[in-house]
Amino acid sequence: MSFWLASRRTVQTTDTIQRFDPRFWTVDFPRPAMASVVTIGPDALRVDAVFQKADDLIGLIWESADRWDHPLLAYDTDRDYARLTLSFRWRSGGVLPLDAVNGPTLTIEGRDAAGNPRSWYVRLWNYAVGTPTDAVVSLPFSALSGGFMLPGEADPVHPSDIDRMFISLVAPGYSASAGAPFTPALTGWVELTAIRCQGHKPMLTIGDVMVPPHGLAMATGYDDGYNQTPARLLRAIRGLGYRGSINHYVGMSHFFPLAPDGAGGFVVDPALPALNVAAERWHAAFLSGAKAMGYTVILSQSYELLAQHCPASWQQRASDGSPARTGWSPPSALLSPANTAANAWLRKVAVRLAGMLIEAGLPVRYQVGEPWWWVTGDRRICIYDDAAKAALGGNPVVIPDLGGALTASQIALLDAAGALLAASTASLTAAVRTAAGSAPCETLLLAFLPTVLAPAMPEARRANLPTGWAWPAFDVLQIEDYDWLTAGFEALRMGGRAEAEARLGYARSRQHYVSGFVLSGADAGAMWPMIDAAASEAQAIGVSETFIWALPQVARDGFTRLPGPAAGTASEDDIMQPFDDVLFPIAIGRSATVTPEFSTNVTITASGFERRNSLWADARLRFDVGPGVRSEAELGELIAFFRARRGQARGFRLRDPSDYSSNGMAGVPTALDQVIGVGDGAKARFPLVKAYGPDSEAQQRRITRPRAESLLVSVDGLAVTAWTLDPLGVIVFTDAPAAGKTVHAGFLFDVPVRFAEDRLDISGAAFAAGEAPSVPLIELREDA
């Protein structure tokens, strides 16, 4: 399939939006505060805020440059606000009112007339008409001033070079110098309605692409998109051609309410609701918006929780008592599947997620995301928290190195840990099914194979891919393997899928594949081709849905999946042409003509010198097989074969009488005939090739139609059999050849060809008189 990493918009379709369109505002704040922004009308937005302590400050933000959207969907940058007026109706509750000291303030960041960086602090009450909680605010940028009291403290704004502006929101009882916790947390809201921008250049140009559907679905997460409106994210998903399902991870850091821990921090409190009010509002808008666009949504929940908010007793621990920690910054903790309180909280969240789907009119689709016992960097498994130790016999044997030789008791312990994990996930899916009642319900398991099937720790799968997950424990198995994918570990990817299928028993029709992701934008050029190819591979092998992980990286890197043949817009090079895997029925012998041809562009300069440009890397063959027809019976076979191929429409195999072996032109193949690659310890796929000429000048020919029964393969000179033959002549090893090992192959092969014309001119009288018919064939390009 084709794709494009778009860095900017060029000739693509555009539209216009009013500047300050409510879909494109964002929110931000320092932890542990929380907030969300949603659209509540075409000219209106709402902010819901959660204040955990007295110095929490939440910003509602408009940026002149669009930092969040895909380049083909972003609005144009315009920093000139001169002669513009922004107006809106302000309504609020639970935040300091407009007339208060430290009340809502518009901070404008930009540059002054001399180009020096500046910020201005505009008190909204100075430009409001109405009450402190219900007023119409008008902001004429060319006549706007910062300062608390006007005109005495006026600080005129320079409106022609503004980067961003944000409205700050704080709670009653705000103190910039004291961060005392609120018990319980305070909530507030603000609505801006009737948002208007008038004056000079009130509109912005915005990308308006609508990529045709390409068969892929999108994965995203609340931790990445919490600051944006659901309408903005859904617009991007639809505009980029993703259809069907959205796989949405509710996250590990932003969705839950918190309570003071008594030591200056905040932790999850199971007595509080499953989601905080900001996350509730955001997800309700996201789900209803997805429903309106025709999507279903898979809500994903994991056993991961931001470490600073995770109760200590809930956390998985290594044998020395150290808590499990991921490599994110700040790190997250892993919840123990054995901890009763942690499991009860997970079930509470799962039930609420099911309820939100039902309330939105969507089927219940619930994913348990990457549940596992954490394994540290030095290969210690974290199954030794107090709850796990009690469940595993009270004093379980220590496993100091999961990659070392294990005793029978250590292996038994891993099996028991796997059973605990499976029981924990089963309690979640049972709770969801009960909550769904008569509503459609689907449960899904997301497994990250590079961790649970790590070759260096072969027994880890007992704990982290337990047989208790085998079909029908879940309705769907979702597989992701991006560590192997982006590192090029082809054999591990294929072997991992095969083992997961064998171990858990999910048919391809009950599998999803998640392809991605690119952590750093600097790796985009190298990694997206592999991600795109893996997505196409998953579609080809018949999994029911394939997702791209994830929307933030797609937007950052401009990844644009282009539609395939089904949409009618793929190039001819991308379309698999009809091919009948049958051999031309007549042994043409040496009476047929064979013509190899290249294409070379020759330019003769004014002085008589030539400049030659070779346009083809490989020769293309032409045949005339008519002279090989020797009898009336063979003539009948030819006519029948021609009709069955429908003239030029369908390709077929032809044995070239002069060149059909890897050993010379017609020798008996050996396992050392042709070098088809050199191992690197990761690559498992090696296309068959035949070289013509000395090594330094060899012309490489791809062999796409080998005789499978003739294939012989060797690695480092030793014959091997642990491989399969994929379509179009690709050898696929079960285990990737080691780095530096040369891979050879020997084979017999045919040439893929088609009839050169849609007509076959044959005269019976001429044939009877000994005149051979002309039957031209042309070689097909099949190299993928």
pLDDT for the residue 469: 98
Cα-based angle 459, 464, 467 (whole degrees, multiple of 5)? 90
Residue 576: band (very low, low, confident or very high) from pLDDT cuts 50, 70, 90: low
Residue 669: band (very low, low, confident or very high) from pLDDT cuts 50, 70, 90: very high
Residue 566: band (very low, low, confident or very high) from pLDDT cuts 50, 70, 90: very low
Task: Assess whether pLDDT exceeds 70 at residue 150.
Answer: yes
Burial of 402 (0-12, 13-18, 19+ CB in 10 A): buried
- How far apart, in whole angstroms, are the C-alpha atoms of residue 715 and residue 722? 11
Q: Which residues contact 370 (CB under 8 A, 6 or more apart)?
A: 302, 303, 304, 446, 447, 448, 451
Task: Assess whether pLDDT exceeds 60 at residue 567.
Answer: no
- How far apart, in whole angstroms, are the C-alpha atoms of residue 539 and residue 551? 19
Selection from 394, 396, 422, 390 nearest residue 409 by Cα: 396
DSSP 298: E
Within 10 Å of residue 319's Cβ, how many Cβ atoms? 16
Tell me which residue has tokens 């795109």: 532
pLDDT for the residue 766: 55
- How far apart, in whole angstroms, are the C-alpha atoms of residue 25 and residue 731? 52
Q: Which residues contact 567 (CB under 8 A, 6 or more apart)?
A: 212, 213, 214
Burial of 374 (0-12, 13-18, 19+ CB in 10 A): buried
Q: What percent of the chain is predicted at pLDDT more than 90? A: 84
Q: Which of 39-53, 92-106, 504-518, 623-637 has the lowest mean pLDDT?
A: 623-637
pLDDT for the residue 595: 83
| Continuous H helices in 87-246 | 222-225, 230-239
Cβ 634 vs Cβ 773: under 8 Å: no
Cβ 382 vs Cβ 373: under 8 Å: yes
Task: Assess whether pLDDT exceeds 70 at residue 332.
Answer: yes
pLDDT for the residue 570: 42
**Residue 718 in tokens:** 């030793």
Task: Assess whether pLDDT exceeds 80 at residue 330.
Answer: yes
Task: Assess whether pLDDT exceeds 80 at residue 493.
Answer: yes
**pLDDT tens profile 591-602:** 678 888 877 777
The three-state secondary structure class of 250 is coil
Within 10 Å of residue 89's Cβ, how many Cβ atoms? 17
- How far apart, in whole angstroms, are the C-alpha atoms of residue 529 and residue 707? 30
**Residue 591 in tokens:** 């009476």
Torsion angles phi and psi, residue 244, rounded to 5: 85, -90
pLDDT for the residue 699: 85
Task: Assess whether pLDDT exceeds 80 at residue 590.
Answer: no
The three-state secondary structure class of 503 is helix
pLDDT for the residue 773: 81
**Mean pLDDT of all residues belonging to the chain:** 93
Q: Which of 42-46, 571-575, 760-764, 769-773 has the lowest mean pLDDT?
A: 571-575
**Residue 505 in tokens:** 């028993």
The secondary structure of 22-36 as a DSSP string is GGG-EEE--TT-EEE
Task: Assess whether pLDDT exceeds 70 at residue 574.
Answer: no
Torsion angles phi and psi, residue 621, rounded to 5: -95, 145
Selection from 16, 34, 488 nearest residue 253 by Cα: 34
Burial of 725 (0-12, 13-18, 19+ CB in 10 A): middle
Q: 154-158: which pairs have CB atoms within 8 A and are 24 or more residues apart?
A: 155/120, 155/121, 157/108, 157/120, 157/122, 158/110, 158/111, 158/112, 158/113, 158/118
Task: Assess whether pLDDT exceeds 80 at residue 783.
Answer: no
pLDDT for the residue 79: 98
How crowded is the C-beta side of 549, counted as CA atoms within 13 Å?
24
**pLDDT tens profile 611-665:** 777 666 677 889 998 887 878 888 888 999 999 999 999 999 999 988 999 999 9
Q: In this structure, which amino acid lies at residue 149?
A: M
296 membership: H or E segment, kind and range: strand 296-302
pLDDT for the residue 771: 65
Bridge partners (DSSP) listed for residue 66: none
Cα-based angle 645, 651, 653 (whole degrees, multiple of 5)? 105
pLDDT for the residue 228: 98
pLDDT for the residue 489: 92
Selection from 166, 137, 157, 150 nearest residue 60 by Cα: 166
3-state secondary structure 514-575: EEECCCCHHHHHHHHHHHHHHHHHHHHHCCCEEEEECHHHHHHHCEEECCCHHHCCCCHHHC
Q: Which residues contact 741 (CB under 8 A, 6 or more apart)?
A: 678, 679, 715, 716
**pLDDT tens profile 169-214:** 999 999 988 889 999 999 999 999 999 999 999 999 999 999 999 9
Residue with more model confidence, 548 or 599: 548
pLDDT for the residue 605: 73
pLDDT for the residue 765: 57
